[in-house]
Structure formats: structure tokens, C-alpha cells
Structure 1
Amino acid sequence: MPPALHVNAVSKTYRLWATPASRLWVPFLYRLAHLVRGLPPLARRLQAAAAARLHVHEALHGVSFTLPRGEALGIIGHNGSGKSTLLQIVAGVLQPTSGSVHVDGRVAALLELGSGFNPELTGRENLRINAAILGLTSAQIRERADDIIAFADIGDFIDEPVKAYSSGMALRLAFAVQVHTDPDILIVDEALAVGDAAFQAKAMTRIDQILARGTTLLFVGHDLNAVKAFCHRAMLLEAGRVVMEGLPDEVITEYLHRTHQRALAAQQDARAGRLRRIEGGYGLEDACVVKASLNGGAQHLELRYGERIDVAFEVRLPPEVAHPCLIFDVLDGRGLQLGGRRIALPRVAEARVLPVAISLAATFQQGVYRVRTRIVDAPSIETSTVLSRQEDWLSFDVIDDSRARFTGLFPLPMDIKVGA
């Protein structure tokens, strides 16, 4: 079976003109330099004059990857790394300067939602036009129109001109149309923050349903938890180049490592050059957790509801950390933080390893949970410098279904009275 998407050596270069008149002068000067190539000094001066009026920005450079049918790929990177440009090329909105893209199947692209709407037409009319552009037949549009309108949930505004809509209403309608086209490939660019919290939850559920049918997903976003939740693989872009591709946890750790290194460098912190990939994450090799275990030696446990978890850490500290602190967090399966503690550590006079023991009860709903640790230098809560971050080595699985005990992921202390 052919892959859903094959991107081969795609590059995108933009010409940035110094002035509008440069669009005329630059080709003229280059042409003139070519005509006087027998006079090298003059030709070089003309070429230099042309180059001064033209700047080139390479948004993508030789990007290649293959996405098999039914898989989900998350693309992460800092602003300006080329993520959105790549998605627009895959969606056919932009043409690459070089390279090729082969797409096999119907594409739904959640990019600039609502940008194709005609403000003078009603929401219902824009719905029909947009759905037809996306490849639905007249019969399919009639069949799905009510579901799209119900999903968008904009009430009587569906028959009002789009120019009367709020930005959120237009986005909701555009999103509803896109996710009802039964796409073979779904392209998402920061489009999950649509509408209010209730609509966002509905949008996430709808995307889950689309993926469950075997739809291929290409996802770009700064929400790293969404990348972990939806994607089988991840890719890190930096300055238009692919610097890493692999499992989401591995790629996200590398992204956070580079982000942290860049932040320390911006503060002119000498420790920036000492950040390394270490077991379970990244950080300073002399200010990190060097050993961690659950219940006497395990790195993964299966537990019944309420059973005790004894966590043992060995923390290496150098004397120059004036206010050392261990931050202990429990994360759910999607990487969302459920809770934790800041544990003050004593300042050491010389480099040493400190034992830290934590005990808690597994009072969590059925599921997989992970432990994250951070060693910070924290004169105060507001001024903390992270020295290491590790989360990929300790986890536990609560096997009991506790929905009859409480709702959510863990119980909250409360007093309840029913009746007089």
C-alpha cells in the first residue's frame, strides 16, 4: 500500500525586496552585469548593487519524510522554524521552491480556519461552498449539513452573513466543515484552541474519532501534550531543517533541551554550555537525579487503588547551587501535571549525592502515570532556574477502575450531606 504522504527534499526560499522598486532594479542590474561580464570589476559592482537590494530567506531546506497510512506525525519547533510553511506546502497552499510532495487521498487542512469564507454570504451558504471546495458532492453536503451546523453550535447565526460573526464563530464553523469531510489525511496547525473550553473538548473528541477510523494525521503545535496524545512519531524542525525524528517523548525532550539551553544562553548563564542529555531527560550532570526507583528497585509498577508507592531518589548536587530544590510531579498518560511538591534541599559544601524518599498512596483513577523530577536553583518561587528535567524513567499503572468512588483522575477531600 502506498504511503499517505511522501515529502522529498522540499525547500522553500522567499525573496525579500528592500523596496518595491527593487523588484525592477534587481533583475535589471543582474542582466546588466551579465552583459558586461567581459569587464569583471564593473560586473562585480553591479552584482553587489543587486544583492544589496535583495535578501533571501530560506524557510525550508531539504525536508524529507514519509508518512504511512493511518499514522500520526507531530512536527514541533520554535517560531520561525518552518512548521507552518511545510504544512501549507503539503496542503497545496504554497508551492515548494524545489523538491516534491506526493499526497494520496483527500486532505482536510485545519490551517487558516475561515480564511476562505465570503463575508457577504451567510454561514449556511459558506458551508456549502467550502464543503464543495473540499470535495463533497451536493448529496453529501445535504446529508451532512445538519450535523455540521449542530457541531458548530452558532445557533440562528448560521443564516446571518459571516461579516456579522465573531472571530470565534467563524472559526467554529470552518472547523466543523473540515472535520465532517471524512478526510484521508488531516492536517492540523494550532487549530485545537478553537472556541471556548466546551467546544475545544468537543473538537478533541472529534479528532479522536477521525483518527480511530484510520485517518493519517500531520499535526503542528506548541501543545506538547497534544503531540504526545495524538502522534505515533514526532519531528523537530530548526531553521527549516529536520534535526531529529523519532518517538514523541524523545523528540520533545530534545526540543525542551534546546529551548532550555537557548534560554540560559540569552541570560548569559555560563551553565548553558554544560546542559547535556542525561538519563530520563536533560540537564547538568552535576545537578540531577542520578538514581530513581519505586518500591525498592522497580522503574514501573502495577498497583491496586490505594496501595503505597515509595519513591527513592539519589540527587547529585554541586556546592555552587545556593538554593537547591527538587520538584516532584505526577503526570497522567497525556503528560498533564496532576500534582506534586517542591522539596527544599540543603546546600552542600562540596559535591555530594543526597538521598530523598517520598511516599504516597496510589489514589488515582485507572490508567498509566509518570513521575517527573526537576532540580532547580530557587531563591524564590518566582525566580527559579531549572538545572535538570527528567521524566522518562519512572511510571506506575493503577489497574482498578475507581469510577464508582470518584470522578476525574483523583479524589478531592470533601464533606457531603444529603437531605436535612
Structure 2
Amino acid sequence: MSADFPLAHSQPVIVVKDVCKTFRIWASPAQRLIAPALHRAGTALAIASPSFAQRLHASAQRRLHVHEALHDISFSLQRGQALGIIGLNGSGKSTLLQIIAGVLPASSGTVYTHGRVAALLELGSGFNPDLTGRENIYINGAILGLSSARIDTLLSDIIAFADIGDYIDQPVKTYSSGMAVRLAFSVQVHVEPDILIVDEALAVGDAAFQAKAMTRIQEILARGTTLLFVGHDLNAVRTFCQHAILLEQGRMAMLGAPEEVIEEYLFRVHAKAQAAGLAPPIRTAQGFRCEDGGVLALQFANGMQHLALGFDAPFQVCVALEVDPGLADVACILDILDEHGVPLSGRRIRLPPRTPQQPHVRIQVEFRAQLAHGIYRIRARLVQAPDLHQHHRRVLCRHESDLSFEVIDNSIERFNGLFPLPADVQVQVLPGNDQHPD
């Protein structure tokens, strides 16, 4: 359901409530005809011959296979928020986006959207392959509710952003996949949508186009557009999204901050690979205590739980570890998080080799509070990472500690943003007749 009436500031732009989607799957086209016929025959004979009718219904049911793609999905988004949806292939991500976009109906539950919805769900979706790119711009713009006059004013910007040259006047069927997605994305982001839905399509573009597309997404988010983003680029989810959902077999396994959801996703990916025999067995963890009795403990050096610090003041974090000596390539990651749980910085410390006689490791890290005024907290993770590729990382342990610190100094005169970068600043006072430095 979509609405165009004025939106109250506190009213959600997207509301998804108890959405389920079930697909009927048939073994063959013939079964799609036979099964309904058997069901209707059984209904007609229900009074005259109940037992025979029951056998007909059972035979019809055996020919029907039901796949539950989504089950009880619920969430809401305010104006200007961005939600990332991650999960393994087949978890229901694209089905959910298609329901929100209005392409598919939900089997049950309700979906409410407010305003113009622009959806980039598949390469060149909505394009007529026999028409030129220019003609398809007008058709897609009309579908999205724009007048021809409005499309005329946007046309040059759309063509310039797509950067497909003279192909704009060639049939779309002659386009490469990258050209098609560039044109489709350019149309969607230039119609000033209230809700933008992007489903993994940007991965097809080259590096230059992806960078340009990411910049454009940041611009429309700043304008107040609500974003639904699905993709395997976890860094993009971290960059754009305030919230994230983990889907697993059509169900919401987790809803929370992007970093927390991504960690859970990676943990489940490696657990699945381990169960399938694709990864060496590892110890899992509950909370911050490993199954074998190993411990990940965290504290400030002075024993306090919260520190009040001036800008650039030092503070020490102590980590006590007890890790299975048989685990190789283990590292401890210390994260500094802001009040929203977004990682700002941290350190990765490789653990030295251990023996059964010496399983304990003690780490002390000294940071300096070179951060803007605010409250921050400390998190520790134990990972098994043979290299720096995030998909090769196994999260063994994660400790959401209650350690926090506050930077009490206002650093507006020192730097803008959350933390300073090294800079060599030179200021010159020039004579009145010399306005430009050499």
C-alpha cells in the first residue's frame, strides 16, 4: 500500500508487518493442471463419497510443493534512514524487496510505503529491449510519475551520469550488462525518490561507476530519501546504513546495528561451512567464554569501568585470554565504538603461538583519547583469520564489555569531525597588494 498525503515527522515511511510469502512449486506443467482438477473433484464428491473425496484431496496435495520464502517479517523505517539487508543466497532478500516495491504481493501481512518508490531490482528491469535508451528514460520516468516536461529537464543529467555515450540512441538489447545497470540506476536516482531500493545491481558496474554511485547515494540520503540496500558488499552496508537485518531461510535472524549484524552473519557463514566440512573445526563461543573454558576478559588498567578523559589523554586497556593452543592464526581485535555502536578505530593484535602448558595470553594496549567530545565504549573480539579478507574470518569470541570513557574537552578549535588527522597547516598574512600566495 502506498500513500501520497503529507507525512508527519514521526510517522514511518516504510512499515512491514508480519509479512509472509509462500510459493507453490509444481513438478511439471501438467501437475499444475491435474492437482486443481483433483482438488475440485474431491470437493464435489465430499458428500456423496467422503472417503474417495479424501483420497482425491490427498493425491492433489502430493502434487503440490510449498516453499515458504518469507515468514513473519516486521520492521519500520523513518524518513532519511537506511536499512541494509544481508543473508546467504536464497534467504529471501530479493523477495522481500520485491514485495516492498509492489512487484510481488505478500501471501499475508501488510506493507505500507509513503511517497515515490524507485527500485533497482534487476538489470534493466522495466526496460523495453527494442527501444533506445533515451526512449526508455521517458517510459521509466512516466512509470515513476514524472511528466514529460519534468523528464526533459532531467534528461541531460541522466545521460551524463549513465556515461554510455552514443549508445543512448541505440536499442537497449545492444547494451552490455554494465551499460544497462548504469542507465537504470541513473534514471532511478534522478527522479528524486522518497524511497530508493537497491538490490545488488551496483556490483555489475566498474570501479569508477561504483564510486560515482556511492557518492550519489550519499547525496540522496542527505536529502532525506529512505534507502533499502541489499548486497554482499558489507562495507557498503557499514557506510550507508544505520540499521541492518540478517535474513536466514526467510526469517529475521537479527535486527540491529550494522556492525553487530555483520558479525553475526560472518559467524553463521563459517559455522555453516564448518558443518558442511568446508572449514576446519573451531571452537565456538557463548558470550565471552569459549566452550573449552577459554576466557576473554577486558578491563582498564586502573580497574575502573568508566573514565573521564581530556583530549589526548592516555588510557590503557588490559585483555586476558585463554585460547585453545590448537587454534592457529588467532587475533584479538579491540574496537572503540561511538554511542551508536559504530566502530571508529581499534587495533588487531596477532596472538603468539601457545602450548598446552602456556595457554594464557595477556595484552595491554595504550590508546590516546584523540577524539571529539562524547562517550565511547570498548569491545573485544577474538577471530581466526589466516588473511585480511573478511569472508575468511571466523569470529570465535566477542565481548560486549561495559567499559566506557568520556572525552570531556570540546575540540572544535582543534579539528572537525570525530578525530583529527595529521596535517601541516601554514597561515600567511599577505600585503594588501599581494592577494594570492606563491
TM-score, with normalisation over the residues of structure 1? 0.79
8 Å contact from structure 2 (residues 87, 248) kept in 1? yes
SS of residue paired to 1:114: coil
In structure 2, relative to structure 1, the CA distance for the partners of 1:375 and 1:112 (3 Å cut) is closer
Q: One-letter code of the match for 1:5? A: I
- Take 1:228 and 1:42, find their aligned partners in 2: how far apart are those partners? 59
- In structure 2, the partner of 1:109 is 119
Distance in 2 between the 1:294 and 1:199 partners? 48
Match of 2:107 among 71, 74, 97: 97
Q: Which of 24, 29, 34 is residue 20 of structure 1 equivalent to? A: 29
Q: In 2, distance between residues paired with 1:253 and 1:402? A: 31
Report what 1:178 is aligned to. Answer: 188
Alpha-carbon offset, residue 122 of structure 1? 1.8
Match of 2:322 in 1: 316
Give CA-to-partner distance per residue, 1:125-168, whole Å, 9 cap, x none. Answer: 21122122112211211111111111111122222222222110
Q: Determine the structure 2 residue equivalent to 1:413.
A: none
Q: 2:153 aligns with which of 127, 132, 143?
A: 143
Instruction: Quote the offset at 1:35 in angstroms.
Output: 3.0
- Tell me by how many angstroms 1:54 deviates: 1.2
Whole-angstrom CA distance in 2 between matches of 1:73 and 1:343: 35
Q: Per-residue deviation at 1:186?
A: 1.1
- Inter-CA distance 301–372: structure 2 relative to 1 (3 Å threshold): farther
Distance in structure 2 (CA, Å) of the matches to 1:132 and 1:285: 62
Q: Is the 8 A contact 2:378 2:404 kept in 1?
A: yes
Q: What do the CA deviations read for 1:320-353 (whole angstroms, capped 9, x no partner)?
A: x264633558899987999856433312237x53
Checking the alignment, whether the CA contact within 8 Å between 1:295 and 1:311 is kept in structure 2 is no
Alignment length, in residue pairs? 394
1:353 lines up with 2:363 in the alignment = no
What's the counterpart of residue 4 of structure 2?
none
What TM-score, normalized by structure 2, do the two folds share? 0.76
Report the Cα distance in structure 2 between the residues aligned to 1:127 and 1:47, rounded to whole angstroms. Answer: 50
Conserved? CA contact 1:325–1:345, under 8 Å:
no
Displacement, 1:270? 10
Question: Contact (CA 8 Å) 1:110, 1:189: kept in 2 or not?
Answer: yes
Q: 1:164 to 1:35 in 2, by over 3 A?
A: closer
CA apart distance, 1:371: 7.7
Q: Which residue of 2 aligns with 1:167?
A: 177
Aligned residue for 2:190, secondary structure, equals: coil
Identity %: 49
Aligned to 2:419: 399
Q: From 330, 336, 348, give the equivalent of 1:325.
A: 330
Q: What are the Cα deviations for residues 61-104 of structure 1, in whole angstroms up to 9, with x where unaligned?
A: 22222222222222222221211111101101111122222211
- Rounded to whole Å, the distance in 2 between the matches of 1:265 and 1:127 is 48
- Equivalent-residue separation in structure 1 for 2:269 and 2:404 (angstroms): 25
1:299–1:188 CA distance, 2 compared to 1 (3 A): farther
Tell me how far apart the structure 2 counterparts of residues 370 and 151 of structure 1 sit (CA, whole Å): 42
Preserved contact between residue 24 and residue 67 of structure 2 (Cα < 8 Å): yes
Tell me the C-alpha RMSD between the 2 structures.
3.9
**1:252 Cα deviation (Å)?**
2.7
Q: Residue in 1 aligned with 2:433?
A: none
Q: Secondary structure at the match of 2:129?
A: coil
> Could you give the per-residue CA deviations for residues 164-208 of structure 1, whole angstroms, max 9, x where no partner exists?
221101110110110001111111211332411111111011000
Note the alpha carbon deviations across 1:95-130, whole angstroms, 9 max, x for none: 112222221100111211312222222221211221
- SS of the aligned residue for 1:193 comes to helix
1:361 Cα deviation from its structure 2 partner: 9.2
Judged with a 3 Å threshold, the aligned counterparts in structure 2 of structure 1 residues 196 and 375 are, in CA distance, closer, same or farther, namely closer
Quote the residue 2:44 is aligned against: 35
Measure, in 2, the Cα distance between the counterparts of 1:152 and 1:110: 14
Q: SS of the counterpart of 1:146?
A: helix
Q: 1:301 to 1:106 in 2, by over 3 A?
A: farther
1:10-409 paired onto structure 2 within 5 Å: 10-37=19-46, 39-267=49-277, 274-278=284-288, 284=291, 286-287=293-294, 289-291=296-298, 312-318=318-324, 321=326, 323=328, 325-326=330-331, 328=333, 340=348, 342-349=350-357, 352-357=359-364, 373-376=381-384, 386=394, 388-390=396-398, 399-404=419-424
For structure 2, which runs of at least 5 residues remain unmatched after alignment?
A: 1-7, 408-417, 426-438
Q: What residue identity is the alignment partner of 2:246?
A: L
Instruction: State the SS of the aligned residue for 1:286.
Output: coil
